[in-house]
Structure formats: C-alpha cells, structure tokens
Amino acid sequence: MSNDLSLSFNTSPHLRSKNTVQQAMYDVIIALLPISAVAVYIFGINAVFTIAVSLVAATLTDLVFRKILGRWNTPFDGSALVTGLLIALTFTVEASWWTLVIANVIGIGIAKELMGGIGYNLFNPALFGRVSGILFAGLFFNQVNTTFAPLSYQAGPVDVVTQATPLALLKMGAEMPPMAQMFVANQGGGLAEVSPLALLIGGVYLFVRGHIKWHIPVSIIGTVLVIGLIFAGPELAVYHILAGGLMIGALFMATDWVSSPVTPKGMIIFGVAIGILIMVFRLALSPTEGTAFAILIMNAFVPMIDRLTKRPVFGEAPAKAQAQAVSAETAGKPA
Amino acid sequence: MSVKTFNRGLFLPHYKESTEDKAIANIALPGEVVIPLQQHIGAPCKAVVSVGDKVKIGQKIGDSEAFVSAAVFASVDGTVTAIEPRSNFTGADVESVVIEVAEKQEEPSWSDRDISNMSGDDIRAAIKEAGIVGMGGAAFPTNVKLSPPKPVDVVIINASECEPFLTCDHRVMVEMAEELVLGAKLIAKAVDAQQLIFGVETNKPDGIEAIKAQIEGEEGIEVAVTDVKYPQGAEKQLIYAATGREVPPGKLPLEVGVVVQNVGTAVAVYEACRFGKPLYERVLTVSGDAAANPGNVKVPIGTTIEHIIEQCGGFKDGKEPGKVVLGGPMTGFAQTRLDVPVVKGTSGILLFSEEMLVMSEHMPCVRCSRCVDHCPMYLYPNSISMNAEKGLYDQAAEWGAMDCFECGICVYVCPSNRPIVQLVRDTKKAQAAK
C-alpha cells in the first residue's frame, strides 16, 4: 500500500442519489402509456401511425441538431422522445405527417436545441412545436398537400373527421356526451383528449415517483373549475375540465421542469394564471388552443415569477421581524 | 417522546450498521507520527522542539502566542526526526513535526484535579493548555468559542452525527457518557449558561439512554431527540431543532445566545480539566464499502491513514478502493495519497469502491427543483449554479451562495449531477477577492 493508488479525486459531497434526468424522462414516457393505449384503442392503426411518425421525427431532429450544434457527445437524455410523444398526443389522427414533422423540428430543434439545449428552453418544446405545426398547417395546408400528394398517407380509413370535438360542442352549447364516458374513454379531438382518467393515472404515477408536485395541476384545474362554476354553472364547469387539452396541459405540459417555477408559491401563481387564461380563451375567444397558448404565455413569465416569489434565507425572516419590533418599540418611546 | 427537527433537509441512507455496535478499539502504534503545526482555524503554531529531541507523550511540541490558535502535542514517546512541510488532508503542505516512535512507551501520569470548584477562567485556561479544538470537523479553538463577547444562556452538545457512515460520536456517547456529561457541564459553566441540551438523532437509542442515565433528575439539562435527517448536525439547524431559535444569515450562534460543542470536544474538555491531559488522540470511524474490517478506533494524532487502514484489515478483498475520504461522505475531503496524518478534526476514514462513485458527466440544470426543496438554508442552488457556471458571481451571490454552508444535499439530489457545491466555493472565492 502506498501513494501510487489511482484514487479518484473530487470535492465533496461524495455520495449521490440515484436520480437521473434520463430516469425521469423514461418515467414520463411510462406515465403517458395509459393515454397512448386508450388512443390506440379508440383510433386504431391511425393513432399508432401518428405516434410513430412523431417519435421518428423527434429522434431525427434531436440527432441532426446535436450534430449541427456540436452537442454530439452530450448524454442521451430521452427528452426528445418525451417531446415527440407529447406532440403526437396533442394532434388528431387527421393531422398530416408533415405537420407532425414540422411540429417536432420547431419544438425540439428551435424551441429547445437552438435555445441552448435541455434546461435552457424558455417555452415548453412540445407545446411550442404543436402550436407552430398548427399554424403552418393552417397557412400552407393546400399548397403542401398538393406538393406532397403522392406521399400523403393514412394507415387506415379515417372515420372521425366530421365529428365535432367535445370542446367545440361546449362552445356551441350543444349536447355533451355523458360525463362518465368523457372521463373514461370518449372519441373526439386529439389523441390525449380521449381519456382524462388515463391522463390522471399517468399524473399520479409522476407524483408518486416524485417528478411533479401537486401545486401546478391542482391550481390550474381548481381555477378552471371555479371560473366555470361562476360563468357556466356546475355541470359545464366539470365538462370544461374533462374537455380539450386541459388535462394533458395541467398534468404533463405545465409541470415541465424547465419551463415552470421552482417553488410551491411560484407554482400556484403560475397555475392560477394559466387557469384564468384558459377560461378567458375558452369563454370569450376561440375554443381551440386555449390551454396551449395559456401555458406558453405563462412560460415567458417564469423567470419573473421565480424572482418575485424568492423566499427569505433561513434566519432572515425572524431577524427582520425582531428588527421591526425593536424599531416599533423605540418609536413608541418618548424622546 | 417528541422528536424535534428543522425544515427541509433530507433523509439519507446512513450506512451506520457496520460500525455502530463496534466498541472503540486501540490499534498498534505506527513507526512514526506526523503532527502538523496547524490543525485548526487560526494562527499556525511554531515548533518548540528541535530535530533530535526526545519527546514524551503529551509534551507540547508546537505553540503560538496568538489568541485564536491551539497548541499541538506529541502523541507518542519518541524522537523528533524532522520538522518539515508535509501534505495534510486538504492536499496543502503544512509544517509538521515528524516523530519516530520509541519502542518502549511509558504510561503517562496525569494529575487528578477537583473539577467542581473550577471557575470559568480555570476551565478556559485548562482548555487552552490542552490545545482543544472543535472535533466535529471545523477545528475552531475551543477556548476562543468559550470566551463569548455576548451572554449565552444555552449550550448544545452536538451529538447528531448526521453524516452517513460515521459512528465515532455515537460510540463515545455509549462508552463514555459520564465523561461526556461532566465535560458538557464544564462547558456550560465556562460560558455561564443556564441550560444544557444534548441533541441526538433517534437512530442512536443506546446513546440517548446512556446520556439520560447520567442526567436523571438534574435541573436545566435535557436530551433533545431529533429526527434522522441530514444535515441535523449543522449548527444552525441543530439550534433551530433544539431551541426554536433561528441564527440570522451571516451570524454566529452567539447572536441567539447559544454555543454548540461536539461530543468528542466535551470529553476532551473533561479530560483536560480533570487530568490536565492534552488533546493528542481521538476516536474516529473507519468505514465504507471497500473497508475490510470497519470499526471505531482511538488513534494518536499524527498517525497516517495508511497505517490505520492496514491495522483495520486493509481494503476489502485486497481490492484497491476508488476513493478515500477523510471526514464524512457529504462534507469530507477526498485524498490523493495515504501518507497524510490524522488531525484533531478527523472524524472518519472512508474507503469507497468504484461502484459507490457516480462519475458521470454533469448536465445542464433542468430546474427539477429538488435542490430548492431540500436546501436547509432555503437557498436557490439551481440559480446559484447556473449563474456561477457563467462567471456571474454577483447573481450567484444574490441567490444565496454566501449563506451556503456546503452540506452537499443539492448535489446529492441533483439528477444532472451538477457540481453545485464547487460552484458555491468558486462564488465565495470570487466575492472575497473583490
């Protein structure tokens, strides 16, 4: 025994937990399996096709941008797969394959990698990609579809095209599907809109695994419920929670680590603001994209929320209180 | 029994099972000891012996005129063979006295004084004469800490031992409870405190019982049983748990009328006051998953860790460890060589296998907020590390870097394996240089 051992040297601490970003990302994918399964059950091969296209586009975008930006050697963290899956789930099975590709290229390539890579994105990459994809599709749909006509592909017949989504029904004041059906499995809207129950199971899994806290989902859903009760009545208030992208937004998008606040207080402010925005969009403006825009808008306020909710250092609050008490005491005394 | 605690922090796997029931053992003397002339915070000592001198165990070999300093003593009978810079546990070269251990060691003879009549000044003088420093790791001279410029009403004996693996304080509590309590009373007397509290975590039930048996029926002395949570042994967190008082940022415990002393220090104070015995030996824990025979040993100050590891059976299965740490696994120092000596503040020698170490590259902060959730000082390790990484030290300081005491929880929980504590140190250095 002597000094020629090759001992590893670094500064304290020398113990680590088993937490890794990669593990967390795989847990998010696991949490998204129930909703993916219900979507496939309802939409069949078309849902499989939508998810597959998005995952391939996400992986390729990740690889290409890593190569271009010289991040080839950074560890594979699984975050691109999560974004790809989330993007797929926000679309309907009618979405063309190139819309999904655009959503992934913009979400992962621009909103994340060009912003500096994982950890540096201000906006949620999946939502940013989705909204961009929708915009592009709306602007260039005919043109692109003609250009790519020979390449357009649907795995199976699409039979849900004409059905209005529950969210649109809600806006029109039309008759809603039964509440229990909407909660468990209901056809209509995007892949993630088919089963609030399946999303809830995934959310609870993430909560139990310690990856998300309750504050953001509860404050978003709670705010939507309260505003719904006031302006739409008890029954429609519940439909507002079950319909559209609210559940996937509250449980999976707004809780994204990078683009949400770090303290419970900040999370509640963030969640309540998102809830208010969602209901403003839904009740006063368009029924679609409300949740996505609400979250993206609040993403931009996260640095400010973190700053405004900064908590005092241990020992600071009592010291201040004492100083105030002393100054109040001396102020009360006659000179 | 109500269990006390502080806010935030984290339960850590404590890995104490392999040594917590092992009695403190003596080991064979080494061939030579290397005694650094600075083992404490404050002014270094100057050697008061020369090369070739014969020295006796307990003989003063280094001293300083400065108030904030602590004398050092020969830990064996022997001959001074060199006075030269030697590498210490931080990797720095420190002037050290090298003593060749004599083959025949004489039994030291101590006085036996009546400690019941000692005044505060007597106690402080005895402590100074014995070169006692805080033995929990910080190694601040004890007589200085017991000369408070403000009134103190509470003395807390820190028996938390919240660092994983370490059990030396636990064993001292169990085996030397009487000496511990007598020493603690002397400390309370020295600062004229009315209340004496022993802070012990619930994972040391036999330690709690041993202390309770000593203080039964006494007024003003109690055991504060605390939750097993890291860092319960940090001064501010222990004071909060035991008394509810919060030490303001940047202030010492004195600010709220409290003095905290470690278990080993209290025993050393008792031995110094009663027997006039200087601090030349200490109990430490040898453990870790690469240690062949983990245990608690009493060793002369200046013994090299190489000798102690050998005496404890060496490396498990003869396999070289991946890392050797002096102190606890959360705040201790990794070593690059094994000929460094044990000093007054060394609480453990930990041998870790390669498997125990996480050597993966660190990634950007993903703002998961785990560090924010667990920081016992309520800081923002995420923002500190992001700013310090870019050299934005003013911003890092704004998010609390200067109030960090480097417990390491943030790094422990970080899924991106970020070197947050190192970035805090960089920030402190940059701010101090301004």
B11: left (phi over 0), alpha (psi -120 to 50) or beta: beta
What domain range is B258 assigned to? 117-275
Which one of B275, B300, B318 terminates a domain?
A: B275
Mean predicted confidence (pLDDT) in B75-103? 94
Backbone phi, psi, residue B262, to 5°: -80, 160
Cross-chain residue pair B248–A315, CB shorter than 8 Å: yes
Residue B45, in any domain of the structure: no
Q: Where are the strands (E) in B212-280, listed by range?
A: 221-226, 258-262
Residue A304, in any domain of the structure: yes
Report the C-alpha dihedral over residues A145, A150, A154, A155, rounded to 10 degrees: -160
Which residues of A are less than 8 Å from B360 in CB distance?
20, 75
Residues 91-150 of B with CB under 8 A from A: none
Instruction: State the pairing for strand pair B195-201/B78-87.
Output: unpaired
Please list, in sequence order, all residues whose beta carbon lies within 8 angstroms of the beta carbon of residue A47, skipping any fewer than 6 positions away.
A36, A39, A40, A93, A191
Give, for B324, the enclosing helix (H) or strand (E): strand B323-326
DSSP state of A107: I
Q: How far apart are CA B177 and CA B210, in angstroms?
A: 6
Residue B422 distance to chain A (closest CA, Å): 7
Q: How far apart are CA B67 and CA B418, in angstroms?
A: 40
pLDDT over 60 at A334, yes or no: no
Estimate the crossing angle of helix B205-215 against helix B177-190, to 10 degrees.
60
pLDDT value of position A3: 54
Residue A315, in any domain of the structure: no
Residue A317, in any domain of the structure: no
Six-digit token string for A287: 């029924």
pLDDT over 60 at B390, yes or no: yes
CA angle, B295 then B300 then B306, to 5°: 60
Q: Where are the strands (E) in B175-300, listed by range?
A: 195-201, 221-226, 258-262, 281-287, 295-300
Residue B405, in any domain of the structure: yes
pLDDT value of position A10: 80
pLDDT value of position A335: 42
CB A255 within 8 A of CB A217: yes
Reference A113, options A67, A56, A53, A57; nearest CA is A67
Q: Percentage of chain A surpassing pLDDT 90? A: 56
Residue A298, in any domain of the structure: yes
- Buried b / exposed e across A195-224, counting CB within 10 Å, b at 16+? bbbbbbbbbebbbeeebbbebbbebbbbbb
pLDDT over 60 at A151, yes or no: no
Q: Which stretch of A144-153, B121-130, B191-200 has the lowest confidence by average pLDDT? A: A144-153
Cis omega (within 30 of 0) on the bond before B231? yes
pLDDT over 80 at B102, yes or no: yes
Mean predicted confidence (pLDDT) in A283-295? 86
pLDDT value of position B132: 96
The CATH number given to whatever domain includes residue B252 is 3.40.50.11540
Its ipTM equals 0.88
Six-digit token string for B135: 């033995």
Reference B145, options B274, B271, B262, B277; nearest CA is B262
Task: Give whole-number Cα distances, B327 to A9, A14, B167, B175, B332, in Å.
Answer: 14, 11, 11, 21, 4
- DSSP conformation letters of B61-101: EEE-SSSS---EE-SSSEEEEEEEEEE-TTS-EEEEEEEEE
Confidence of residue A152 (pLDDT cuts 50, 70, 90): low
Mean predicted confidence (pLDDT) in B263-290? 96
Which one of B215, B249, B275 terminates a domain?
A: B275
pLDDT over 80 at A181, yes or no: yes
Same-domain status, B270 and B132: yes
Per the structure, how many domains does chain A have? 1
Instruction: State the pairing for strand pair B93-101/B78-87.
Output: antiparallel
B33 strand-pairing partners: B99
Residue A230, in any domain of the structure: yes
What domain range is A41 assigned to? 21-308
Cross-chain residue pair B323–A316, CB shorter than 8 Å: no
Residue A153, in any domain of the structure: yes
pLDDT over 60 at B34, yes or no: yes
Residue B415, in any domain of the structure: yes
pLDDT over 50 at A162, yes or no: no
Could you report the per-residue pLDDT of B133-181, keeping only the tens digit for each? 999 878 899 999 999 999 999 999 999 999 999 999 999 999 999 999 9
Residue B268, in any domain of the structure: yes
Could you report the per-residue pLDDT of B57-81, keeping only the tens digit for each? 999 999 999 999 999 999 999 999 9
Which residues of B are less than 8 Å from A119 in CB distance?
363-367, 416
Reference A119, options B399, B390, B8, B394; nearest CA is B390
Residue B352, in any domain of the structure: no
- Buried b / exposed e across B192-202, counting CB within 10 Å, b at 16+? ebebbbbbbbe
Cross-chain residue pair B333–A12, CB shorter than 8 Å: yes
Same-domain status, B271 and B377: no
pLDDT value of position A73: 65
Residue A319, in any domain of the structure: no
Confidence of residue B389 (pLDDT cuts 50, 70, 90): very high
Mutate to test the interface with B, among A4, A8, A11, A15 (most CBs of B within 10 A): A15
Q: How far apart are CA B243 and CA B154, in angstroms?
A: 9
pLDDT value of position A75: 64
Residue B8, in any domain of the structure: no
Same-domain status, B262 and B375: no
Residue A127, in any domain of the structure: yes
Could you report the per-residue pLDDT of A75-119, keeping only the tens digit for each? 678 899 999 999 999 999 888 888 999 999 999 999 999 988 888
Residue B248, in any domain of the structure: yes
How many CB atoms lie under 10 A from the CB of residue A115? 16
Six-digit token string for B355: 């498997």
Residue B214, in any domain of the structure: yes
CB B357 within 8 A of CB A14: yes
Same-domain status, B268 and B383: no
Task: For chain A, say whether B321 makes contact (Cβ under 8 Å).
Answer: yes
Which one of B254, B275, B296 terminates a domain?
A: B275
pLDDT value of position A160: 45
Residue of B7, B310, B323 with shortest CB distance to A8: B323
Residue B59 distance to chain A (closest CA, Å): 30
Per the structure, how many domains does chain B have? 2
The CATH number given to whatever domain includes residue A219 is 1.10.3430
